[in-house]
């Protein structure tokens, strides 16, 4: 799990807004397509706010499956979207659905 510093959070938040703004400006001179710039800008603002709000991003997780007792790597996404706990995943060995939750006193680098 990566803990994001303020500078990285700001960059992650500003990037979608700038991309949406550039897209909206490109669409502006095109008749009728210029209307698509408004929802595009809204999506950029939504994802920018969501990214800037995230303080932590999961990169990887591993643990022992309570069903088959095998130690396995757990899929928690690709590290881009800001996941919030609990995270749904599944065991790579037996396929059982698992729920990852925060444990009190959890180390920052797990």
Say how many C-beta atoms besides its own lie within 10 A of residue 90's C-beta.
14
Interaction between residue 98 and Zn ion (CB under 5 A)? no
Interaction between residue 62 and Zn ion (CB under 5 A)? no
Interaction between residue 64 and Zn ion (CB under 5 A)? no
Q: Closest approach of Cβ 109 to Zn ion, in Å? A: 24
* Binding residue (CB under 5 A) for Zn ion from 59, 93, 102, 110: 93
How far apart, in Å, are the Cα atoms of 20 and each of 32, 69, 94? 17, 46, 42
Q: Closest approach of Cβ 99 to Zn ion, in Å? A: 13
Looking at residues 17 to 56 of the shown chain, list those that interact with Zn ion (rule: CB under 5 A): none
Interaction between residue 67 and Zn ion (CB under 5 A)? yes
DSSP string, 3-55: EPPHHHHHHHHHHHHHHHHHHHHHHTTSTTGGGGHHHHHHHHHHHHHHHHH--
Residues that bind Zn ion (CB under 5 A): 65, 67-68, 91, 93-94
């Amino acid at each position: 799990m990566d803990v994001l510093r303020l500078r990285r959070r700001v960059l992650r938040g500003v990037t979608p807004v700038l991309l949406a703004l550039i897209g909206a400006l490109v669409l502006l001179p095109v008749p009728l397509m210029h209307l698509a710039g408004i929802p595009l800008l809204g999506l950029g603002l939504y994802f920018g706010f969501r990214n800037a709000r995230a303080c932590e991003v999961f990169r990887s997780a591993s643990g022992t499956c309570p069903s088959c007792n095998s130690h396995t790597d757990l899929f928690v996404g690709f590290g881009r979207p800001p996941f919030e706990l609990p995270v749904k995943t599944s065991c790579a060995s037996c396929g059982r659905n698992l729920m990852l939750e925060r444990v009190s006193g959890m180390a920052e680098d797990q």
